[in-house]
Structure 1
């Protein structure tokens, strides 16, 4: 008695009444239309420019603007006030640090590390604001990873 025929191997390809089908004639299984009908996520709302998405983006931009303005204010009050300090205290013009006038030493030596620190703080704050924004959007959408990680 002959052995029963083996079912077609999925790896070998689909078979039709006349034998194996060419790859282009295979049937592709796609999700139903019902699965495509769903509520858009918060990120899609933001991308689509919906009123809610625009409110989220406005709040992000407002916070980033606030961070930038604070940095500019700190810079203006410290470095920007140096000319006034040297004008109002003319005795400082005669002070020398390592043979260099104090005004030049401050402008050439102390300002650049200070600018670096301000820049570093601004970048850290901007990253924190963006991370909080992403967590808020994920939490509102009910996506995984949207929990509070603090």
Structure 2
């Protein structure tokens, strides 16, 4: 009769040779790899650039109105159909432009995110 093999105490699974699988773009982004950080920073840079552009446009256009009223005193007392020109400009010109700019900003932001999703293969 042969003797049984000696007892072996198992404390963890044995290490097997792991083959490195190429990481997908989604894994790169959710992980902490350099490529994922580059993807995310490029997305954030594009969003920041869009935001700063829209803010600059808003400051230039809305900031121009008080400047015009301060530099050209005649515009302060000018009225059309009993309404001050400042109110007409705000109601008929500025607010529609703000709404259109907001719609444009939303679409441009969605386009940036869609392009990002296309690059990293989320779709």
Match of 2:66 among 70, 80, 83: 83
In the alignment, what sits opposite 2:23? 40
Q: Provide Cα deviations, 1:35-94, integer angstroms capped at 9, x if missing partner.
A: x96322101110112110010000000000000000000001101121001111111122
Output the TM-score relative to the length of structure 1.
Answer: 0.64
Residue pairs, 1:1-150, within 5 angstroms: 38-138=21-121
Which ranges of 4 or more aligned residues in structure 1 deviate by more than 6 Å?
Answer: none
Output the TM-score relative to the length of structure 2.
Answer: 0.77
The total of aligned residue pairs comes to 106
| Counterpart Cα distance in 2 of 1:42 and 1:84 | 50
Task: Give secondary structure in 2 for the equivalent of 1:40.
Answer: coil
More helix by share: 2
Q: CA RMSD of the aligned region, Å?
A: 2.1
Structure 1 alignment gaps of length 5 or more: 1-35, 146-150
Query: Which of structures 1 and 2 has the larger relative contact order (alpha carbons within 8 angstroms, sep 6+)?
Result: 2
Larger Rg: 1
Structure 2 alignment gaps of length 5 or more: 1-18
